[in-house]
């Protein structure tokens, strides 16, 4: 198999499967579609990675890898796409999900930024008053935004993974079409 120069220093799938940590799972990870870079496999990997990257705040790579193995899509791409949420993008993504969740609930008053800010200020005031009893007010605050955030995360993860899937397909087809046009032009 010919490898792109960018990936020459990375271990091959066969070398990865020989490691002590992955050897017990080798029979699940040997399928060729998990390591191929074709349109279907990469688009599926992006969709799975974006879905679990936004929906789940922990164990994103593990869950996306399990889903990639089950659905037979590109495993490295699925794992890498989970990095859509990282320490820098996490607050913005979750705030946006909170706003989206507010649109789907019948009571949209929570989605207004002034309400969120006043709620945060109330929680901080309680924390300042009782420094040792921080857990109960924090739990109350999380429970008050929980349903709205969960709905927003579900909607955002489904929409983002769907857009990612179709965007990869469109870009891939465009790229292949341009390569064929250039090849035909050179042959003339």
In the chain, the largest separation of any two C-alpha atoms, in whole Å, equals 80
- In-domain check, residue 57: yes
Q: Could you tell me which residue, 163 or 98, shows the higher pLDDT?
A: 163
Q: Is residue 3 part of a domain?
A: no
Residue 116 · residue 149 · CB < 8 Å: no
Residue 25 in any domain: the answer is no
Residue 71 lies in a domain: yes
Would you state the structure tokens that stand for residue 24, as one six-digit string? 């017990």
Could you give the number of structural domains in the chain? 1
**Count of H-run helices and E-run strands, the chain:** 8, 0
- ∠ CA 155-157-159, nearest 5°, is 65
Domain for residue 169, yes or no? yes
CA 44 to CA 62: how far, in whole Å? 16
- Mean pLDDT, the chain, as a whole number? 80
Q: What is the DSSP letter of 11?
A: P
Task: Please indicate, yes or no, if residue 14 is contained in any of the structural domains.
Answer: no
- At residue 108, the pLDDT reads 47
- Residue 13 lies inside a defined structural domain of this protein: no
Cite the DSSP H helix spans in 35-131: 39-55, 60-71, 75-81, 90-104, 113-129
d(CA 60, CA 50): 10
Q: What is the pTM of this model?
A: 0.72
Whether the per-residue pLDDT at 51 is higher than 90: the answer is yes
Residue 1 has pLDDT above 60, yes or no: no
- Whether 124 has a pLDDT exceeding 90, the answer reads no
Specify the DSSP class assigned to residue 83.
Answer: G
Q: What is the pLDDT at residue 153?
A: 93
Identify whether 112 is part of a domain: yes
**Domain limits at 119?**
31-187
Q: pLDDT-based confidence at 177, cuts 50/70/90?
A: very high
């Amino acid at each position: 198999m010919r490898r792109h120069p960018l990936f020459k220093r990375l271990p091959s799938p066969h070398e990865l499967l020989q490691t002590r940590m992955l050897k017990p799972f080798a029979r699940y990870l040997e399928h060729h579609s998990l390591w191929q870079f074709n349109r279907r496999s990469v688009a599926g990997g992006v969709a799975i990675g974006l879905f679990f990257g936004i929906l789940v705040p922990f164990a994103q790579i593990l869950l996306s890898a399990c889903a990639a193995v089950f659905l037979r899509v590109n495993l490295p791409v699925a794992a890498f796409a989970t990095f859509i949420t990282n320490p820098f993008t996490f607050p913005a993504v979750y705030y946006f999900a909170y706003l989206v969740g507010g649109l789907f609930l019948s009571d949209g008053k929570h989605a207004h930024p002034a309400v969120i800010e006043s709620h945060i200020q109330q929680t901080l005031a309680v924390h300042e008053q009782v420094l040792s009893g921080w857990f109960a007010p924090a739990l109350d605050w999380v429970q008050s935004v929980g349903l709205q955030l969960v709905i927003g995360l579900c909607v955002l993860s489904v929409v983002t993974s769907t857009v990612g899937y179709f965007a990869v397909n469109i870009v891939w087809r465009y790229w292949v079409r341009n390569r064929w046009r250039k090849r035909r032009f050179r042959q003339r």
